[in-house]
Amino acid sequence: MAVFILATVITTVLTSFNMVFSTTGVLEASATVFESGKTSLNRIVHDLENVFVLDRPIYKPPVVDGPPDPYRFQGSVDSFGGMQLAKLRFTSRAHVPLSPSRRDGIAEIVYYLQKDADGRLRLKRADHLYPYPRFEERSSDPTLCENVKSLAFEYVDAEGTATEEWDSEKTKYGFATPVMVAVRLEVVEADEAYVFQTTVALPMLRRKSG
């Protein structure tokens, strides 16, 4: 009888320990995902708050077959496998030097989503100093956040009109930049989803022509 009682007590204690450790593991994973999403949003905000654009008369609208403005502001949404993948390209003073040279300057920043081998989305950030290379997804681009469910940007013009895409090189947008950018990032961990969102007023603008 004493052995039976002891075995019951030990089983109960071990079960409790397993539940505690399991819960602790879930909480730690959730905290990691939450911090990753929060840090990613802060990084996007910091880059946008240091945006760099050329204004008129230094800025010249593009000509046919001419080179694009290196300081252009472009946001697009691509469809891939039934999913909407947002991409944002702009130039910023918030360059993060990764090479030994540690040069400073105006960097081309590109935020984009990339699928991993398991089909999950990760948020990538490309950062290159001038001369800017032609954009392509690189394995060397840092991953800011994994387990991304969605990423969306909304661009607001001087009249308060919002759109999901933008191109400062096109007549449709008056060769202007948006005045504000709304950011929404959603990350998941197991059955939990975390949404991070904010709106950034751009400190440097180019108004519509005319």
For residues 135-163, give the mean pLDDT.
95
Phi, psi at 98, each rounded to 5°: -110, -20
- pLDDT at residue 26, rounded to an integer: 46
Type of residue numbered 105: G
First to last CA, the chain: 94
83: which strand partners? Answer: 80
- Write out pLDDT tens, residues 19-72: 554 445 444 667 888 899 999 999 999 999 999 999 999 999 999 888 999 999
Kind and range of the H or E run holding 55? none
Collapsing DSSP to helix, strand or coil, 117 comes out as coil
For residues 101-107, give the mean pLDDT.
83
In the chain, % of residues over pLDDT 90: 68
CB 41, CB 49: distance < 8 Å: no
Collapsing DSSP to helix, strand or coil, 179 comes out as coil
Token pair, residue 70, equals 């290196």
Type of residue numbered 62: P
Please say if the pLDDT value at position 13 is more than 50: no
In the chain, % of residues over pLDDT 70: 84
CB 82, CB 99: distance < 8 Å: no
Token pair, residue 1, equals 């009888």
Q: What is the distance between the alpha carbons of residues 4 and 92, in angstroms, rounded to a whole number?
A: 70
If you count them, how many residues does the chain have?
A: 210
- pLDDT at residue 4, rounded to an integer: 54
Q: ∠ CA(81), CA(151), CA(193), 5° rounding?
A: 95
Supply the pTM of this predicted model. 0.85
